[in-house]
């Protein structure tokens, strides 16, 4: 069974999120889809649906706290209000744009692990590391597992090369298989690929060896396209 996740990043309003979630929910209810679907809306829309969706709604980010003085962040007190039990951790935009260190990422991971959250944990190398070759890439990726309990039962991994995220440049099948095979040899967890996955390449990517699904940004923001993506991987 494939896992398909949509990361809204900083897109969609409450109104358009509600429409998106309701329509995807309707589609999943009407069709026999075995694909596991996860949607990460903005934190302002985590409660934004009339009926509880038949799929997972997750937080793109939250601080490793119940509550406290962490300006601009939310904690579990807020997530609990919305019954959110799924979280994205280690996304490259948080690591590279917002400057989250591996230590902070691991602290967040352990905090949410202790609470039993479903964690989608992202790893992936920047372009300059990819250009150094496969060994350097794997070395870089393995360092992103420092402090992470890879045996955690509620863990899904997402390999997302930084150079492929939001660029329109998808990793080659060979790149994906090389990295996925190497990660799977060490860690036996569902492993998604992310990085410019689109309606027309999702089926092929998801059929590659050791690819268990996809984490998708840009191509998933349009609800018709997201439904087509689910359709193409069922
Ligand atoms: C992402 O943000 O996780 C992502 C994979 O984005 P995109 O699909 O736009 O490359």
Query: Ligand 1 atom 2: the closest Cα is on which residue?
Result: 217
Name every protein residue with a CB atom under 6 angstroms from any ligand 1 atom: 7, 9, 160, 165-166, 194-197, 215-219
How confident is the model over 7-19, as pLDDT tens digits? 999 999 999 999 9
Query: Under 8 Å CB-to-CB from 128, ≥6 apart: which residues?
Result: none
Chain Cα centroid distance, residue 209: 19
Query: Residue 141: which pLDDT band, with cuts at 50, 70 and 90?
Result: very high
pLDDT over threshold 90, residue 134: yes
pTM of the model as a whole = 0.97
What's the pLDDT at 98?
Answer: 96
List Cα–Cα distances, 41 to 47, 56, 176, 181, 209, in angstroms: 10, 11, 26, 30, 29
**Superfamily of 3-231 according to CATH:** Aldolase class I (3.20.20.70)
By C-alpha distance, which of 4, 9, 45, 20 is closest to 218?
A: 9
Half-sphere exposure of 89 (CA within 13 A, CB side): 32
Answer yes or no: is the ipTM higher than 0.85. yes
Cα separation, 218 vs 216, whole angstroms: 7
Query: Distance from the CA of 136 to the center of ligand 1, in angstroms?
Result: 23
Binding site for substrate, residues?
7-9, 166, 196
Query: Distance from the CA of 216 to the center of ligand 1, in angstroms?
Result: 5
What's the pLDDT at 53?
Answer: 86
What's the pLDDT at 49?
Answer: 78
**Please, what's the b/e burial string for 167-189 (b: 16 or more CB within 10 A of its CB; e: otherwise)?**
eeebbebebbbebbebbbeeeeb
Instruction: State the catalytic residue, choosing from 100, 125, 160, 180.
Output: 160
Cα separation, 42 vs 13, whole angstroms: 8
**Is 81 known to be catalytic?**
no
Average confidence score pLDDT of the chain: 96
CA angle 47, 158, 27 (to 5 degrees): 45
Query: Ligand 1 atom 4: the closest Cα is on which residue?
Result: 217
CB atoms within 10 A of CB 213: 26
Give bridge partners of residue 156 from the DSSP assignment: 120
């Amino acid at each position: 069974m494939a896992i398909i996740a949509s990361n809204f990043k900083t897109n969609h309003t409450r109104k358009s999120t509600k429409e998106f979630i309701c329509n995807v929910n309707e589609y999943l209810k009407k069709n026999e889809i075995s694909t596991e679907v996860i949607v990460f809306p903005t934190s302002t829309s985590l409660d934004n649906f009339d009926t509880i969706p038949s799929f997972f709604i997750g937080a793109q980010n939250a601080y490793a706290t119940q509550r406290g003085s962490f300006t601009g962040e939310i904690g579990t007190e807020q997530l609990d209000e919305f019954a959110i039990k799924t979280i994205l951790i280690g996304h490259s935009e948080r690591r590279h744009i917002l400057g989250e260190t591996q230590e902070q990422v691991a602290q967040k991971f352990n905090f949410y692990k202790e609470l039993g959250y479903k964690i989608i944990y992202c790893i992936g190398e920047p372009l300059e590391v990819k250009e150094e070759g496969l060994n350097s890439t794997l070395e870089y990726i393995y360092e992103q597992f420092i402090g992470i309990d890879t045996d955690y039962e509620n863990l899904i991994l997402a390999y997302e090369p930084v150079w492929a995220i939001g660029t329109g440049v998808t990793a080659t099948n060979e790149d994906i298989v090389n990295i996925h095979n190497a990660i799977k040899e060490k860690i036996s967890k569902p492993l998604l690929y992310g990085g410019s996955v689109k309606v027309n390449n999702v089926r092929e990517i998801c059929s590659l060896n050791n690819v268990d699904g996809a984490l998708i940004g840009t191509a998933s923001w349009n609800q018709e396209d997201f439904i087509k993506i689910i359709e193409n991987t069922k």
